[in-house]
Each structure stands twice: as C-alpha cells, then as structure tokens.
Structure 1
Amino acid sequence: MPLADGSMIPGMFTAVVTNPVDIVKVRQQLQTQGPGSVWSVTSRMLRTEGFMSLMKGTSASILREGTYSTIRLGTYEMFKDLLKKNTQGIFDSEGLPLKVTSSIIAGTLGSAIANPTDLVKIRMQAYYPSGSPYRSMRHAFASIYHETLPGSVGPPRSSLINGMQSMYRGVIPTVARGWAVAACQMPAYDHTKQWLKRRDLLREGVYAHLAASSFAGLVVSLASNPVDVVKVRIMNDTTSQYRGIWHCVMSIMRYEGPTAFYKGFGMCWARLGTHTIVTYMIYEQLRLLAGVKPL
C-alpha cells in the first residue's frame, strides 16, 4: 500500500517548507512582461501583501503533495516489481529503463489524480490586484467547480460533468510535467545512489541520500520548468487568453521568446532541489524505521 512506507509524510512536510519559494516561482511564471527577478517579485509581495503572503496556498500545497507524492512515491516500487515480473526479463532489475518506466507510470497516475489540488494551489498563489477572490481552500474548490469554462457561453455550469471539467483544467500539461518529473527525479536519485554504491564512492546512508537527491533535484528542475510555465499559465487563464496548450506554447515563444520557458528557474530549482533533498532524506529514514529496505 502507498502509505505503508511513509510516502505521504515527506511530501506534505516539504510543501510547507518550500511554499514561499513556490509562490515566488508561480508569480514569476505568470508574468508576461519582462522576466521579473526574484528580488523584485518578493519585495513587491512583502510591500503590498505583507509577510504572510509568502504562505498563500499552503493548505492546497499540502493537500496536493499529500495526494501526488503519496501516489508517486508509494507506487513506484510496486510498478517496478510488476514490470520486472510480467515482462519476462525485458527489464534489467537494476537498469535505468525499468526505473524510468515505473516512475513515469506512478507519476502519471499521481499527477492526474492530484490535478484539482494543483489547480487550486496555483489560483490561491496568483496575484490579484483587487485582492484574492478566494477566502479559503474550500471556497477556492467550490468557486472553480462552479465557474464558467473559458470560451463557453451562458450561465456558470454546475453539473457534475462541467464541474469536473473545470477542476481538471490544465490536466494535460500537469501530466506532461508529471512525466518530466517522474522520468528524472526518482530514476536520477535511484540510479545515482546505486552508481555511487557500486563504485564504493559512498555507502548506503545519509551521505549517499544527500548526494543522490541533490543531483536529482537539478536534473528534474531543468526538465520540468518549461512544462511548468505552460501549466501555470493555462491553469490561471480565466479570460480565454489561450485556446489550448499549443496556442499557449506558441504565444510564449512569439511574444516572450524561448527563454520565457525558463522563467522562475532559480525558484524552481530552489523549490524542487529542496523538495527532492528533503523528500528522499526523510523517505529513506522512514523506510529504515519501518524495516523496509532502502530504494
């Protein structure tokens, strides 16, 4: 079971620790005029919204990590075992293809299920000149569920189907980001740690966990930032600015240039790097305490 190895706890803990970094990253990625430095975005938030603005969306971030990370981390080894057992030796048990494939399956499942929580988190973290329209996470969920989809006409849709469509806005780039994270983070950590151990550079333990998770954090940040920019733009698009994913990509390319896909990279790396290190350091220790073998 996903919860048996403590996979929920690291993600939820890191959600709180990294929320200030995450909200600055989201604000940078939503800016369409100029890059917006970390200092300018942070100082503007502190000046106009106060210190606690850095913790906006924390509840949704905790819920998102409690869902996404629990599924992604908790099912990774299950899928590794299933693939190894049912593919008649196609996958080497220590090979990178098995790790990448298992991680992508687990990441796809987790990111798809957690999309509504990711959507609410981004909406709660975005900047609103007239003040946030959301009083709480619960109010944000209800408001998004009942809002009119971009491009539609008529009164707000409140049926189950249209409500779910609203909650799953941006699910394709969310899953695409999940693929990028899944294809890099867990395999990079797992493979790097095994590489260090095989060459007797480090033994299983805290130093190996720290080294492997630090490298994995850099790799996953480089891979996921472009998709994250598109995901954030689409999820926060309530005025039909973008007709779809491809239109969003081409608009960014045309009006802001290719470097725009790396807006917020410093904060992305700070967040994902910290997130990766804290998650795997805690995760490995919880596995040890539970009597489960290391990754």
Structure 2
Amino acid sequence: MASLAESMALPAAAGGLAVLFSHPLELTKVRLQLDNELAAKGTPRQYAGFVDCVLQNFRAAGVRGLQRGLSLGVTREVCFNAVRIGLYDPILSASGAVSGRGERAPSARERMAAGFTCGALGGCCVNPIEVLKVRMQAYGGLTGHQHAIPSPAAGLAALVREEGLAGCLRGVGTSTARGVLGPGSQLIAYNELKAVAVGHGADPAAAPTHVSCALASAAVSVACVNPVDVVRTRVYNAPAGLYASGADAARRLLRTEGPLALYKGSLTHYLRLGPHMVLVFGILERLKSMRARSS
C-alpha cells in the first residue's frame, strides 16, 4: 500500500508544481477554443491568435487575470496525475501477475491498455473540477458564455445548487474520451520514445532524454486530442440547454464552423502541453531519484 501511495504522490506533486508555470497558456487555449462558438465560417474572430489573446487578457486583468482559476488548475493536476501516471506502473504489474507468466517486460499492447485505462480513469475523477476550471478561465474573456464565478467555493456551490449532480457530471463522457486519446496517447508515446532513445544509447536519467521525449509525446497527444478538447471545453462552459451532448456539440460545430474549428487553440495547446510535460516528467524523474537515494 505504501508503494502505491508513493507511486501516486510523486506524479501528483510533479503535476501540481508544473501547472504553476503553464496555467496562463491553458487559460489562453480555453478562450481561443470558445472564440466564434457556432458562428458562421468567415465571421471575424475576437482574437487574432494566441499572442493577441495573451496580450488582450494581460491588458484587461494583468498577471492575475492570466492565472484565473489557478487553484482549480493545481487541484486538477494533482488529482489527474496521481491517477493517470501514478497508476500506470501498478496496472502494468497487475497485468503481469494476472497473465501467470511471472516477471517479464510488459508488451506494447499491455502498455497501451494501461495508458488508455489510466487516462480514462483520470478524466472521470476530475470532471467536476474541470467544469469549474473551464468556466473560471472563460470568465472575463471576450469569448464564450460568461459564468460569474468569484471563487472556486462559490462556483462549486452554484454548480451543485443550480445543476445538481448532472452539472458535476456534465461532459463526463467527452472527458473520458479525452482522457483516453490525450493523456493515454501521451503516456504511451513518452514511454515508447524513451525506450527507443535508451535503446539507441541515450542516458535514461539525462535531462535531454526527458525533454525530447516529453516534447515529442506532447505533439502526439495534441494531434489526437485537440478535437475532443474543443468539444469538451464548449460543453463545460455552455449555458444549460445549449448542447444535448458532446456529440451534439461536435455536430453543430462542424455544421457551422467547419472541421478546422476542431483544431482551434491547437498551437497554444502544444505550447502549453509541451513545456508542461517537460516539467512534469522532469520533476517526476528528479523526485524518483531523490527517493531512491534516500531509501
């Protein structure tokens, strides 16, 4: 039990620290994804791009505005990484035990199944936090429905009072799919790329190995997950009754804005996710080294 707790605590700490630096780009991504929601193709956008979005948000509210919803971002990363990264090795170990083949290296199929499982579980666990985080990040911007949330506690109280359990579970199916496609693909890509790099002589403990594998895995993740991420952001932030489901949101987006709208905010998504995962995996590897030296 202690080893399981440690395996979950280290990624949780790494994610909570990393988001302190990456949160402004996460906020920017959310506002870009909501830009021109359900507007006809060719309608002028509120933001010319991620640089313009950052500058406008900074002029409007300063650094504090760019960090809106940070406490929820930290909470989300702590919980999410504890599950999606912390349970990865234990699930792989369980698959080896169930197979009855004793100690062995897990197969690529088992690593993929573990990554997808952890991503889906993480998406389910943090769904209410994600709903509030997206709404706080959207509030004060030029795009998207505006939910007046003065604080996380007030936002949670309003969510439960006005929407009940259904509000806390809003978009959970889309979030689960995102957890499978995004973090699942990224975790698999990171571990596979690192295994290939080490096989070609790279030092598994060296910073360049972590950085290159984290950046490459983030690109894989964004390519897989950005369409679902756009849909999820809109479902989370929409006023009651606007969308019947994630599938309805996707259908209406495609009909009004076209398929390219599914990649709104994708550059910002990568600029946020790439450095964020470099920090997460870098901090995680350092914490593991510190633990190993102390034991």
CA distance in 2, matches of 1:227, 1:107: 14
The match for 1:158 is none
* 1:146-295 alignment runs, 5 A limit: 146-148=161-163, 163-291=164-292
| Identical columns (%) | 25
CA distance in 1, matches of 2:4, 2:23: 24
The match for 1:143 is 158
The match for 1:13 is 17
- Relative to the length of structure 1, the TM-score reads 0.88
CA distance in 1, matches of 2:249, 2:112: 28
What RMSD in Å do the two structures reach over aligned CA positions?
2.2
Judge which range, 61-70 or 194-203, deviates more: 194-203
CA distance in 1, matches of 2:282, 2:159: 35
2:71 to 55, 59, 64: 59
User: How far apart are residue 221 of structure 1 and its match?
Assistant: 1.4
Give per-residue Cα distances to partners, 1:74-123, cap 9 Å, x unaligned: 1110000011221345x972432121111111121121011111111001
Q: 1:70 aligned to 2:82?
A: yes
User: How far apart are residue 253 of structure 1 and its match?
Assistant: 0.5
Change (3 A) 1:227 1:12: same
Question: Is the 1:24–1:38 Cα contact (8 Å) retained in structure 2?
Answer: yes
The match for 1:99 is 111
User: How far apart are residue 40 of structure 1 and its match?
Assistant: 2.8
Change (3 A) 1:46 1:211: closer
The match for 1:134 is 149
Q: 1:39 aligned to 2:51?
A: yes
Give per-residue Cα distances to partners, 1:112-158, cap 9 Å, x unaligned: 0111111110011013479861121111111111114xxxxxxxxxx
Q: Secondary structure at the match of 2:243?
A: coil
The one-letter amino acid paired with 1:193 is K
User: How far apart are residue 218 of structure 1 and its match?
Assistant: 1.1
CA distance in 2, matches of 1:201, 1:62: 32
The match for 1:108 is 120
CA distance in 2, matches of 1:234, 1:30: 10
1:27 to 23, 27, 31: 31
Judge which range, 245-254 or 130-139, deviates more: 130-139
Question: Is the 1:107–1:179 Cα contact (8 Å) retained in structure 2?
Answer: yes
CA distance in 2, matches of 1:233, 1:92: 44
CA distance in 1, matches of 2:272, 2:4: 24
CA distance in 1, matches of 2:209, 2:52: 37
Question: Is the 2:139–2:148 Cα contact (8 Å) retained in structure 1?
Answer: no
Change (3 A) 1:210 1:42: closer
Q: Which runs of 4+ in 1 moved over 4 A?
A: 128-132
- Relative to the length of structure 2, the TM-score reads 0.88
Q: Secondary structure at the match of 1:175?
A: helix
Judge which range, 194-203 or 110-119, deviates more: 194-203
The one-letter amino acid paired with 1:69 is N
Structure 1 stretches lacking a partner, 5+ long: 149-162
Question: Is the 2:115–2:183 Cα contact (8 Å) retained in structure 1?
Answer: yes
CA distance in 2, matches of 1:47, 1:280: 33
The match for 2:6 is 4
Q: 1:124 aligned to 2:136?
A: yes
Give per-residue Cα distances to partners, 1:219-262, cap 9 Å, x unaligned: 11111111100000000011422121221111111111101010
Change (3 A) 1:206 1:42: closer
Q: Secondary structure at the match of 1:280?
A: helix
Question: Is the 2:83–2:122 Cα contact (8 Å) retained in structure 1?
Answer: yes
The one-letter amino acid paired with 1:51 is V
CA distance in 2, matches of 1:21, 1:264: 10
The one-letter amino acid paired with 2:30 is V
CA distance in 2, matches of 1:98, 1:26: 33
Q: Secondary structure at the match of 1:7?
A: helix
Question: Is the 1:103–1:182 Cα contact (8 Å) retained in structure 2?
Answer: yes
Q: Secondary structure at the match of 1:290?
A: helix
